[in-house]
Amino acid sequence: MKPQGRNVLVALAAGLAVCVGLVAPARAAASKDIVETAAAAGTFKSLAAALQAAGLEQTLKGPGPFTVFAPTDEAFAKIPKADLDALLKDKAKLAAVLSYHVFAGNAGSADLKQLKDLSTVHGGRLKIDASKGLKVDNATVVKADVPASNGVIHVIDTVLIPK
């Protein structure tokens, strides 16, 4: 697996943990990495399983910084079961999808609101729309700026699929 794919998964896992709100509000005070934060949250079980299946956990435990757009379990539930099962069995495609959720660097919501798009670890570009709340491609950011020791997590309501 490519190192950037592993970084993406690590960032996604970290985002999940932070989104649950188990990490201190201030980034400097965050002691858990993205993966640990996601695991502690309890609402990112699907993301955690996907990261494990793709072998990306260790990447997201790395120093970062990472910005992870972390889909909730409810976001994964929107994917038809047969499609999700097929995705989880295809490690390369799964790593591509997960890495599409990760930006290599810190991008808080204030930063995102100034952008039209953002490059991902996958190599694709996420469209940013801050005209009504904050949207990333077709997903709405439901909780922004969740801190982790190695980055920031933005919780989203839809799994992003690379174009």
The predicted model scores a pTM of 0.81
In the numeric block, which tokens belong to residue 161? Answer: 């699929």
The band of 160, judged by pLDDT with boundaries at 50, 70 and 90, is very high
CA 65, distance to chain mean position in Å, is 13
In the numeric block, which tokens belong to residue 43? Answer: 């609402």
All structural domains of the chain, each given as residue ranges with its CATH number in brackets, are: 3-156 (2.30.180.10)
pLDDT digits (tens, 9 = 90+) for 76-119: 999 999 999 999 999 999 999 999 999 999 999 999 999 999 99
